[in-house]
Structure 1
Amino acid sequence: MKRLFIYFSFLAMILVFFSYYIIQQISSVPDVISNQDKEIESEVEFKKEAPKEPAITISTATLSAIGDILIHDRVYNPAHIGNNQYDFIPLLLPVQSYLANADITVANQETMIGGVEIGLSSYPSFNSPYEVGDALKKSGVDIVTLANNHTLDRGEKAIQSAIAHWNELDMPYTGSYLSADDQMNIRTIEKNGIIFSFLAYTYGTNGIPVPEDKRYLVNLIEEEMIEQEILKAKELSDVVVVSLHFGNEYQRLPSDEQKEVAYKTANAGADIIIGHHPHVLQPMEWITKEDGKRTFVAYSLGNFLSGQLGDYKDLGGIMQIKVEKTVENDETTITLKDPLFIPTYVSEDYTVYPLNEIEGKEEVYKEISRHMNQWVPNLKFSF
């Protein structure tokens, strides 16, 4: 009996101890929940108070430009393949990969491609085959400038015929137009979220007057017009590219007049200025504008494809610059960086080659490199 009492007493002690343990565990649950609630509330409060990271997006696009496309009869005659057809693609084949390297490539089509129907012609009054445009399109050119001293060489008929073909190719053009409405339509191209606008002007038209009632046939370098069109272009785009046909032929440094026009154009709002007309290469330069921002200027890109040989007239090049667009909290900043130049050479059979690939032209390549980067020491010469 005594043993049974001891057994039940021991069992009772176990039950009391176990009950006490269960009560303690249950009583601690609200504290655990309470602590969890506090942690959640603290986390929510922290999220409310933490400053937001600025919303930043960065886009980049590259723009390339080439010099004068000046098609003499000694260039188009060998390109004739019969039945009034021409093939200029082989002449550009060695540089096609360079032209296609950029997101956008601009060419100065100095001779109107009015086609064979109105009669081909050479210096001093040019008219070129349609197929020049075909070759540029297939080689990676995205837009052509038409404002130059030869725009009116063969009159309005050649302009209309040329522009009709550019439209067939779906190739944008600027500087010469079909109508006043066409002139008011500023050309833009968007790449990688960056919108580029393109304008073009010439110093004159070799003494051929622009009809007063058809001023749209060619844009002249007139300060007020340039300012107005740049202002409009800035409303439509992130980057304004202006082509200027100016300077003195065969002069290897820009004239004071070129520098003055470039400075005014930069301060009117141009971001990039591409120069043509001297038919030889002129150095590049950064222009610091009155607002502290910079404009990149290539005063002359020389001849890219032409019948002019010797005395630096057979040298041209491909200019390229990177455009960076930064958007931070709805505020946009455009930065130009990494200017680059690929010198080119036109051979005796009028094929365009990268200059550094021509045997025997090593010293010429070094000279041109020094000439082109004398005002832009960080100019690169390879991709």
Structure 2
Amino acid sequence: MTVTLALAGDTMLGRCVAERLREAPAPQTVLCAELRALLAEADLCVLNLECCVSDRGERWHAPGKPFFFRAPPATADVLAELGVDCVTLANNHALDYGFDALADTRALLRRAGVAAVGAGADVAAAREFAVLEAGGIRLAVVGATDHPEDFAAAADRPGVAYADLRHGVPRWLLDTVGHAADAADAVLVTPHWGPNMTSRPPHYVQDAAPRLLRAGATLVAGHSAHVVHGAGHRIVYDMGDFIDDYAVDSRLRNDLGLLFLVTWEAAPQDGHTRWLPVRLEAVPLYLDHCFTTVATGGHWQWMRARFTRACAESGTDVTVTGDEGRLVVEWPAERPRRTP
């Protein structure tokens, strides 16, 4: 028995993407037919929504903050039509247009049937995990971000689930992962971590990822750099970008990304069924300014070389499937030991 989870990184539906969605609020406005089919075929889909969804609010007052992203309300329905089951809002754009826009984002997603983690009306709500169900699996999703601190939720203030990972993994995040592991068959932790436009994860990210696994996560998949990083054992350090209108760095090629398809298998353990991610398939993408397609030719070759080198730094081998051209990482089917 297997289940497929589609995972995508930074999905920015504001600015120029928002203009197109206002004119044509439909999945085909932002994704090609082949990618839409892959999302439809997956049992579950989770991504990082790097914008608010609202027509209200004022820009967050933060001297030096250069970018503010807001998508039109109809975007929530577009995400649902794409087959997105859950988004994380734990990032540096959830509060771009303030508390009202964050509240709208949560409400519009809920109305569209899309779960959201990583931000909420107070710190308890921001830290809550969601549980998704499909094909027999109950998958808990945990979201957290290591920036910006001024977006952090508090007991009496909306905001994001802020975790200062530069100084270690906070106890609240380890406890949340542990509670999620007790409540579900598997746990996905999807952190927004590290600086933009880097070619590899910083040391504190490399330290945090295995700690999250030991706390009870079964898969860690991060984002923030806008550049694909490598994969370790049940860790994807950065998934890169999925949809956006960003300027392109000619060296780091943030216009090339990956859509990840994770195969999960049911495994009996201590009288219960636990689910383990055993195979990671990555589909190379070309982000053509507000519209994402499957990468081909030289774009595919570049991403294959990039992902293979990045994975090798973590001791991970990458193979290529036949005609589909997917980049594959196999994970042994043993469950990591959970420790405090």
TM-score tier after normalising by the smaller chain length? 0.7 to 0.9
Q: Which residue of 1 aligns with 2:77?
A: 134
Distance 1:308 1:139 in 2: 22
Distance 1:203 1:283, change over 3 A: same
Q: Which residue of 1 aligns with 2:330?
A: none
Q: CA RMSD in A?
A: 2.6
Q: Which residue of 2 aligns with 1:325?
A: 266
Q: Which residue of 2 aligns with 1:193?
A: 136
- Check conservation: 2:118, 2:127, Cα contact below 8 A: no
- Check conservation: 2:121, 2:157, Cα contact below 8 A: no
Distance 1:228 1:369, change over 3 A: closer
Deviation at 1:72, TM superposition (A): 4.2
Q: Which residue of 2 aligns with 1:303?
A: 241
**2:48 pairs with 1:108:** yes
**2:13 pairs with 1:71:** yes
**2:118 pairs with 1:175:** yes
Distance 1:76 1:244 in 2: 25
TM-score (norm 1): 0.73
Deviation at 1:70, TM superposition (A): 1.7
Distance 1:63 1:209, change over 3 A: closer
Q: Which residue of 2 aligns with 1:340?
A: 281
Distance 1:209 1:72, change over 3 A: closer
Structure 2: 5+ residue runs without aligned partners? 164-168, 327-340
Out of 158, 163, 170, the residue aligned to residue 223 of structure 1 is: 170
- Check conservation: 1:341, 1:379, Cα contact below 8 A: no
What is the identity percentage for the equivalent residue pairs of Structure 1 and Structure 2? 22
Distance 1:229 1:329, change over 3 A: closer
TM-score (norm 2): 0.82
The worse-fitting range, judged by mean Cα deviation, of 86-95 and 64-73 is 86-95
Distance 1:80 1:355, change over 3 A: same
Distance 1:64 1:87, change over 3 A: closer
Distance 2:58 2:287 in 1: 26
- Which SS does the other structure have where 2:302 is aligned? helix
Which digits, 9 at most, give the CA deviation of each residue in 1:123-156, with x for residues without a partner? 5222221233222211121111100012222221
Q: How many residues were matched structurally? A: 308
Distance 1:327 1:366 in 2: 35
Distance 1:71 1:328, change over 3 A: closer
Distance 1:89 1:264, change over 3 A: same
Q: Which residue of 1 aligns with 2:308?
A: 370
Distance 1:285 1:229, change over 3 A: same
Distance 1:124 1:198 in 2: 27
Distance 1:270 1:238 in 2: 10
Distance 1:379 1:318 in 2: 16
* Structure with the bigger percentage of helix: 1
Point out the structure with max Rg over C-alpha: 1
Distance 2:123 2:236 in 1: 29
